[in-house]
Structure 1
């Protein structure tokens, strides 16, 4: 039933562990396919995926997570799409939890989050993700959505190089089609560790507020490149 779609760009450090994790923590009868969508990696990510010997599809796309995820969705065969960042590891039996929500007629949603860092702010931010608040959502929590609903929305907005996850989530909240599964997905805090927790959190809040006040996709990208990229 589930097509897992993972956009990657130079993820040789994590992709092997993630793919093994996905296979080891699911009932494979529920997984139609795992699709890795590469945006032009230069660190050997593609070779790692090919040489693992796993039943994983590797396809190429133009660079950009929205474009890569849309490409993966178009190539997918599953009833449910599950979009996952390459440094995020879903809980054991993640497939069963997603299918349970599908059978409850919950057509889209995510898992709650746990960062792999014990900084008190990141622990608090992780704890808050159990609640169905729009401000607590983001792509690191992963995203499941039925293929029919995804196509009805029109997929990810490719004009957004960053914030593309949030644009889709906004549409799902507007349709009242979002549920939080109260199981933890473990995600990397590597960006916080690189920039510093408070500095990065400030910039993320600024991007959120800028979008709230009508900033364009280009404005958000310009800010991101200046302060984070």
Structure 2
């Protein structure tokens, strides 16, 4: 199967980055490099990541002087050696066959860019209902107005370079904008693989509040364009480290 470059953005994730790197070390597909792009963390995120150099021989830890999700993903894409890219957030968890299954879907469907569904195992019934609705929205909008989750998104260096990467001027839903711009020229779909991510964001903001926030953001995107003003904040650097 195709080798890939996995770009992981981090900011003060010393308690979580190790879990994801351990998951990657156990993947059934092992043809990949890992690039951890750190947004100048105040904790030991980089040290924890470097501790996986033996388990992940093709590991690069790059610490930036600035912060930002788009900047981090764009930096990782520039450092990537392989054509196929996978962007991940540090609080994501993956099953051992995730890469194998995802690459099979990408190659058999000849997709250039793709998103994945969010897994709700071990979460409460309310979360399972919420995730099911969210996943249904991801699938439905993928055919006419892509709404992607940057926490787990596949792309390629060619796509990334030709659309100019992630747009740092967008304050919310830069991942959706990326998918939407790419899908105008390249093949995009949500593939039937799932990833788990830490629900701390939902718990700290409130499930309903965050759902309404992103609903409002995507309505704004659909009718008035991307959000480049501080109408809503990107919480990348402000979630409490509660676990």
Indicate the TM-score class for this superposition, using the shorter chain for normalisation: 0.7 to 0.9
122, 134, 139: which one pairs with 1:132? 139
Contact 2:146–2:179 (8 Å) recurs in 1:
no
Pairing of 1:38-117 with structure 2 (within 5 A): 38-54=38-54, 55=57, 56-61=59-64, 62-104=66-108, 105-115=110-120
- Tell me the secondary structure at the aligned position of residue 36 of structure 2: strand
- Tell me the secondary structure at the aligned position of residue 217 of structure 1: coil
Q: TM-score, normalised to structure 1's length?
A: 0.87
Change (3 A) 1:176 1:120: farther
What is the aligned partner in structure 1 of residue 28 from structure 2? 26
User: Deviating runs (4+, > 4 A) in structure 1?
Assistant: none
Contact 2:87–2:150 (8 Å) recurs in 1:
no
Unaligned runs of 5+ in 2: 239-243
The superposition leaves residues 126-145 of structure 1 with CA deviations (integer Å, 9 ceiling, x where unpaired) of: 22426622278432551111
Unaligned runs of 5+ in 1: none
1:52, 1:102 → 2: CA distance? 28
Residue 25 of structure 1 deviates from its aligned partner by: 2.2
More helix by share: 1
Aligned length: 225
Instruction: Please say if 1:211 is aligned against 2:221.
Output: yes
Contact 1:65–1:161 (8 Å) recurs in 2:
no
Change (3 A) 1:19 1:164: same
Q: TM-score, normalised to structure 2's length?
A: 0.82
The superposition leaves residues 24-64 of structure 1 with CA deviations (integer Å, 9 ceiling, x where unpaired) of: 12321x21x10000111001111111233343210123311
1:117, 1:160 → 2: CA distance? 33
1:216, 1:179 → 2: CA distance? 21
2:114, 2:228 → 1: CA distance? 27
